[in-house]
Amino acid sequence: MALSNGSAEPGTSSVAWHDEQLQRVRAVFDSVDAAAADVDLRAKVVAQLPDGHGGAILGTRLLRDLIRVEHRPSRFLRLLRIWSGKIAAEVWAGDYEAAGRWMRVLTEAPVFPEEFAQFVAEAKRDLSRDSLFEELVTGLVSADTPDSADLLLASWGEPLVEYLVSQITVEEPIVTRRSIVDLLGLAGRGDIRHLTARLADPRWFVVRGVVTAIGKAGRVSALPALEAVAKYDDDRVRVEVLRAIGALTPDEASSGALKALADPSPKVRQAAISLLRASAADSIVTGIVEVLEAGTGSSKDGIRLVEIIAERRGPQVREALERLTVHKLSGGVSRSVRTAARDALAGWSA
């Protein structure tokens, strides 16, 4: 099958075809005066970049090769303008997957000379204008296909994270705050430090949103940063920290949930109870019994914890319920918990 520029579809001959394209583009650069208008040069170079899905992939490789071999500052800057132009065009066209591939030409394992790093940083900053971000965010939300842009969002990095966090703070964000946080989680996957650095923000609602985004990003390396805000003053933040840690380490989430049962906030305790109910770990039965025997927490919480035990099956469950029915003169299990345990035993079967 032929591509739109007349070349054969890349297959076994893709290397030769790719080299031919590279030479064509380099020839364009060498044939145009350095003082020529960028828009004219860009049009000529883009004309050499393949179209179509397979062609677009080869086009990104082609531009990456040019960036690797170009050591003339003026021509390198022009390549950066072509790069940013391709990304912006794909975003405006709603092809976020293609935009992500073009973004990674520069952001994945950089091949440009170290002395050009400042040029790249400036080009990325110039590309990161609010109007393009607004188009990206509203387009993704309206199309309901954020996963199609996961590569683009993760590669864009700090400028995009900064924009999304700013949308959490405004009275009327361009989309719902829930959508903003979802996108923030995708944006943090490339480098979770872009998110963890925001946990120092003095505004509780920003910290809460970032914590939720960290949980969605799925990077276990963020655990120390989450644990550092586990005792945040606002209980709404503590609830999200508990959930985020549970999302990142589901096998170990029960230990954190058991500790959270002693939190002074009913909201945090309720979140902990929900996590314990969803946990498949056998160890939570013993952990819950120990918490109930300590006599802390409300009667309502105690009854819910007994229900969690009774919902499970196995010999350790009956032993746990029987243990909770024992009355001790020196404190321990409350009367309401003992009653709930007896009722659970009456209707429970192994």
| pLDDT tens digits for range 289-325 | 999 988 777 889 999 999 999 998 888 888 988 888 8
Q: Domain total for the chain? A: 1
Task: Report yes or no on 51 lying in a domain.
Answer: yes
Its pTM stands at 0.78
How far apart (Å, rounded) are the C-alpha atoms in residues 38 and 80? 11
| pLDDT tens digits for range 194-206 | 999 999 999 999 9
Task: Please give the residue range of the domain that contains residue 85.
Answer: 1-127
Report phi then psi at 294, rounded to 5.
-75, -15
Task: Report yes or no on 31 lying in a domain.
Answer: yes
Q: How does residue 13 score in pLDDT terms, banded at 50, 70 and 90?
A: very low
Among the listed residues 189, 195, 224, the one whose alpha carbon sits nearest the alpha carbon of residue 210 = 195
Task: Report yes or no on 28 lying in a domain.
Answer: yes
- Cβ atoms of residues 135 and 94 within 8 Å: no
Task: Report yes or no on 145 lying in a domain.
Answer: no
Task: Report yes or no on 197 lying in a domain.
Answer: no
DSSP string, 3-49: -TTSPBPSSTTHHHHHHHHHHHHHHHHHHS-TTS-HHHHHHHHHTTS
